[in-house]
Amino acid sequence: MKRKYSTYVLFLVLAGAILAGIFYRPGPAVSPEMGYTAPPLTLNTLTTNAPFSWQSLSGKLYVLNFWASWCPPCNAEAPGFVKAAEKYKGKIEFIGVNMTSADSPPAAIGFIKHYHIPYTVLADVQAKAASAYRIVSIPTTFFVNQKGVIVDRVTGRISEGTLDSLLNQLEKG
């Protein structure tokens, strides 16, 4: 009798596992890596302190660039990002994320004014975005397609030529 009961329990466990495999449909995986959905952010803009609507990027190509005003590679790549934002205006959205937890708002705003940054810059005051995107060094840049999937991630300074090449690839899908 005990053996029959064990066989019955084993059968139920296996049947449950099979049914779970058939009917389980996970949502999109979220991770700050290529091939995964970009984690949504809840941040305010740096210059106006207004909440940024993550939904405004739905269905759009976008670039997410993490930086700080004191970072030499961030300063070196800023002019290239400004040129690229102008070149791809209306095609690709650019979003800057200032590492405000490790920067000062006045210095970050000075950076924006100095380089004439034409795109939205978000303030990561509590390092929540840096944590969600697992930022270990700056600059770090993410290229995201219309489905919200990260198609490329670059840690370190991006030259203007490399940036243009990555943006062309993003645009072509």
Question: Does residue 23 belong to any structural domain of this protein?
Answer: no
* pLDDT computed for residue 32 by the predictor: 74
Asked whether residue 151 is assigned to any structural domain, the reply reads yes
CA distances (Å), 68 to each of 98, 124, 134, 173, in order? Answer: 5, 10, 16, 29
Q: How confident is the model at residue 35 (pLDDT cuts 50, 70, 90)?
A: confident
Residue 102, classified by CB atoms within 10 Å of its CB into exposed (0-12), middle (13-18) or buried (19+), is: middle
Average pLDDT over residues 56-83: 97
Confidence of residue 10 (pLDDT cuts 50, 70, 90): very low
The Cα–Cα gap between 64 and 140 comes to: 8
CATH of the domain at 91: 3.40.30.10
**Picking from 16-20, 61-65, 74-78, which range would have the lowest pLDDT averaged per residue?**
16-20
Domain that holds residue 142: 28-172
Would residue 16 count as lying in a domain? no
Say if residue 50 is exposed, middle or buried (CB neighbours under 10 Å; 0-12, 13-18, 19+).
exposed
As a whole number, the mean pLDDT across the chain is: 86
Report yes or no on 43 lying in a domain.
yes
pLDDT digits (tens, 9 = 90+) for 109-120: 999 999 999 999
Number of structural domains (the chain) is: 1
Nearest to 111 by CA among 152, 156, 81, 84: 81
Q: Residue 40's pLDDT band (boundaries 50, 70, 90)?
A: confident
Q: Which two tokens stand for residue 95?
A: 């979003």
Domain for residue 128, yes or no? yes
* Residue 125 is assigned to a structural domain of this protein: yes
Question: Exposure pattern of 37-48 as b/e (b: 16+ CB <10 Å)?
Answer: bbbebebebbee
E strand segments, the chain = 44-45, 61-67, 92-98, 120-123, 140-144, 150-155
